[in-house]
């Protein structure tokens, strides 16, 4: 188990002392944390706080269990896969209903991202921007929301904020509504 799987201070200490070089002195979990590991502990505990915040939010929105359990790391990983596969024109990722579901996943990432402070967003934002750019390369802008204008109004989607709802794959299958096939911005 690496530091990334740590959820409590006690787990951190247990891992630290089992991985730390042998000093001849028997370390106990109750011993103070060595100064050189204090920063790492701070990062681990901050990550735990972020994960708890995201999990609580996802649960409050009644998202599916796999979304709650996977949290932001899974959402980002799934979005990266979607972006890569859409760019390749993979048929499994260009079906209309599946594409809508994947775009809802991107919306959930945005919702989670907005819960974070600027400091917490920083390590995620660079990776997310790269994934979004790859997605944009495999898609084209549409003149209207892929969920339909009625849903756009109902849920307050806008081209500026919810840009992913205003794009479609370059390659389409026959599951796409006719109005979106020719509906290019």
Q: What is the pLDDT of residue 3?
A: 42
3-state secondary structure string, the chain? Answer: CCHHHCCCHHHHHHHHHHHCCCCCCCCCCCCCCCHHHHHHHHHHHHHHHHHHHHHHHHHHCCCCHHHHHHHHHHHHHHHHHHHHHHHHCCHHHCCHHHHHHHHHHHHHHHHHHHHCCHHHHHHHHHHHHHHHHHHHHCEEEECCCCCCHHHHHHHCCCCCCCHHHHEEECCCCCCCCHHHHCCEC
Q: What is the pLDDT of residue 1?
A: 35
166 and 123 fall within a common domain: yes
pLDDT in tens, the chain (185 residues): 344 444 454 555 555 555 445 555 555 555 555 556 555 555 555 566 778 889 999 999 999 999 998 888 899 999 999 999 998 888 888 888 999 999 999 999 999 999 988 888 888 888 899 999 999 999 999 989 999 999 999 999 999 999 999 999 998 888 888 877 765 65
84 and 154 fall within a common domain: yes
Q: Which of 13, 42, 63 is at the close of a domain?
A: 63
Q: What is the pLDDT of residue 64?
A: 94
Which domain, by its residues, includes 96? 72-185
Number of domains present in the structure of the chain? 2
58 and 78 fall within a common domain: no
128 and 157 fall within a common domain: yes
Q: Which of 43, 63, 83 is at the close of a domain?
A: 63
54 and 76 fall within a common domain: no
Q: What is the pLDDT of residue 52?
A: 86
Q: What is the pLDDT of residue 94?
A: 82
Q: What is the pLDDT of residue 41?
A: 53
């Amino acid at each position: 188990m690496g530091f990334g799987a740590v959820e409590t201070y006690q787990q951190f200490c247990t891992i630290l002392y089992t991985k730390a070089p042998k000093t001849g002195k028997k370390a106990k979990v109750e011993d103070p944390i060595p100064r050189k590991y204090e920063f790492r502990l701070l990062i681990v505990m901050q990550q735990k706080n972020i994960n708890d915040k995201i999990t609580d939010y996802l649960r409050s929105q009644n998202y599916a269990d796999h979304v709650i359990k996977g949290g932001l790391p899974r959402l980002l990983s799934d979005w990266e896969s979607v972006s890569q596969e859409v760019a390749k024109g993979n048929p499994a990722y260009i079906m209309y209903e599946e594409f809508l579901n994947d775009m809802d996943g991107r919306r959930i990432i945005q919702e989670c991202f907005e819960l974070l402070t600027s400091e917490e967003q920083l390590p995620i934002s660079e990776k997310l921007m790269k994934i979004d750019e790859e997605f944009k390369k495999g898609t084209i802008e549409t003149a209207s929301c892929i969920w339909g204008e009625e849903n756009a109004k109902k849920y307050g989607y806008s081209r500026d904020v919810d840009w992913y709802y205003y794009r479609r794959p370059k390659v389409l299958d026959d599951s796409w509504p006719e109005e979106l096939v020719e509906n290019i911005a």
